[in-house]
Chains A and B, each alone.
Chain A
Amino acid sequence: MPVGKTVIGRSVPRLEDSALLRGEARFLDDLRVPGVLHAAFLRSPVAHARLRSIDADTARIMPGIVAILTLEDLRPLLSADRIPLQFRNTGLGEDITPFVLASDELLFVGETIAIIVAESRAEAEDAIDAMDIEFEELAPVADVRDGLVDTAPRACTERANVYRDFELAYGDTEAAVARAACTFSLSIKQHRGAAHPMEGRGILAVPDTLRDHLQVWSSTQLSHEARFFLSRMLGLEESQIDVAVPEVGGGFGAKYLVYPEEIAVAAAALHLKRPVKWVEDRREHFLSAIQERDQYWTVDVAADADGRLQAIRGDMVHDAGAYIPQGINLAYNAATALPGPYVLPAYRLAVTVGATNKVPTIPVRGAGYPEGTFVMERALDGIADRLGLERAEVRRRNLIPGDRMPYATPMSSRSGAAIVYDSGDFPAMFAQALDAIDYAGFETRRAAAAAEGRHLGIGVGCGIKGTGRGPYESATVRIGRSGQINVFTGAMPMGQGVKTALAQICAEQLGVDATNVRVVCGDTTTIPLGLGGFASRQTVVAGSSVLRAAEDVRDQILMAAASLLEAEPTQLDLREGMVGLPGTNRRVSLRDVAEAAAGSPGYALPTGVKPGLEASVNFMPDGLTYGMGAHAVELEVDPDTGLVTLLRYVVVNDCGRAINPKLVIGQLHGGVVHAIGNALFEFMGYDAQAQPTTTTFAEYLLPTAPGIPSIDVRIAEYPTASNPLGVKGVGEAGCLPVAAAIMSAVEHAVGLRPATLCSVPLAPPDLIHAMGQARGA
Chain B
Amino acid sequence: MKPGRFSYHAPQTVDEALELLSTRDNAKVLAGGQSLMAMLNLRYAMPDDVVDLNGVRGLDDITVTEQDIRFGAMARQRAIERDAAVAQAAPIFRDALGYVGHLQTRNRGTIGGSLCHLDPAAELVALCMLYDATITIAGKEREKHLPMSKFPAFYMTPNVEPDEIVVGFTLPRWHGVHGHGFFEFARRHGDFAVIAAGTLMELDSGGLIRRCAIVIGGAGASPLRLTGAEDMLLGQRPDADALTAAAAIAGEIDAMEDNVYSSDYRRHLARVLTGRALAQAAERAI
Interface residues of A (CB under 8 A from B): 120-122, 125-126, 129, 281-283, 640-641, 643, 681, 685, 693, 696, 698, 701, 703-704, 706-707, 763-765, 768
Contact = CB atoms under 8 A, between A and B. Distances in A.
Interface stretch (B139-147, B203-211, B227-235, B261-269): B261-269
Given A283-B42, A643-B185, A681-B187, A125 B261 contact: no
Contacts of A698: 191-192
Contacts of A120: 2
A282 B1 contact: yes
Contacts of A704: 188-190
B2 A765 contact: no
A62 to B, nearest CB: 11
Contact of B187 (A126, A701, A768): A701
A16 B187 CA distance: 35
Contacts of A641: 185, 269, 272
B189 A707 contact: yes
B42 A125 contact: no
Q: Give the 10 A-B residue pairs with the shortest CB-CB distance, closest first.
A: A122-B2, A706-B189, A765-B265, A640-B272, A281-B1, A704-B188, A641-B185, A707-B188, A121-B2, A125-B2
Contacts of B262: 765
A693 B260 CA distance: 11
Nearest to A124: B2
B265 A129 contact: no
B58 interface: no
B42 to A, nearest CB: 7
A701 B188 contact: yes
11 contacts: A122-B5, A281-B1, A641-B269, A643-B185, A693-B259, A698-B191, A698-B192, A707-B188, A763-B260, A768-B265, A768-B268
A691 to B, nearest CB: 11
Contacts of A763: 187, 260
B43 interface: yes
Interface of B: 1-5, 42-43, 185, 187-192, 259-262, 265, 268-269, 272
A763 B2 CA distance: 33
A763 B43 CA distance: 30
Contacts, number: 52
Nearest to B5: A126
A125 B43 contact: yes
Contacts of A764: 185, 187, 265
B88 to A, nearest CB: 28
B43 A129 contact: yes
Contacts of B192: 698
A54 B284 CA distance: 65
Nearest to A681: B187
A707 B186 CA distance: 12
Given A129-B43, A641-B272, A765 B185 contact: no
A706 B188 contact: yes
Contact of A681 (B42, B188, B189): B188
A282 B262 CA distance: 28
Contact of A696 (B2, B42, B185, B269): B42
B27 to A, nearest CB: 19
Nearest to B258: A693
Contacts of A693: 259
B279 to A, nearest CB: 12
Contacts of B272: 640-641
A698 B185 CA distance: 15
A703 B4 CA distance: 31
A765 B268 CA distance: 10
A641 B187 CA distance: 10
Contacts of B260: 763, 765
Interface-centre pick from B1, B3, B5, B272 (highest chain A CB count, 10 A): B1
B188 A122 contact: no
A122 B265 contact: no
Given A765-B260, A765-B261, 11 more contacts: A120-B2, A121-B2, A125-B2, A125-B4, A125-B43, A126-B4, A640-B272, A701-B191, A763-B260, A765-B265, A768-B268
A738 to B, nearest CB: 17
A706 B190 CA distance: 10
Nearest to B46: A129
A121 B268 CA distance: 46
A614 B55 CA distance: 64
A764 B261 CA distance: 9
Contacts of B3: 122
Contacts of A643: 185
Nearest to B269: A641
Contacts of B1: 125, 281-283
A121 B260 CA distance: 34
A693 B258 CA distance: 11
Contacts of B188: 681, 701, 703-704, 706-707
Contact of B259 (A121, A122, A685, A768): A685
Contacts of B42: 283, 696
B91 to A, nearest CB: 23
Nearest to B1: A281
A86 B43 CA distance: 35
A704 B268 CA distance: 26
Contacts of B261: 765
A29 to B, nearest CB: 13
A326 B227 CA distance: 60
Nearest to B271: A640
Contacts of A129: 4, 43
A610 to B, nearest CB: 56
B277 to A, nearest CB: 13
B190 to A, nearest CB: 8
Nearest to B276: A640
B137 to A, nearest CB: 29
A498 B131 CA distance: 57
B240 to A, nearest CB: 13
Contacts of B189: 704, 706-707
A640 to B, nearest CB: 4
Contacts of B191: 698, 701
A355 B261 CA distance: 28
B26 to A, nearest CB: 15
A135 to B, nearest CB: 21
Nearest to A680: B187
With a 10 A CB-CB cut-off, give which of B3, B43, B188, B269 has the most chain A CB atoms. Answer: B188
A129 B46 CA distance: 11
A120 B5 CA distance: 12
Contacts of A701: 187-188, 191
A764 B187 CA distance: 8
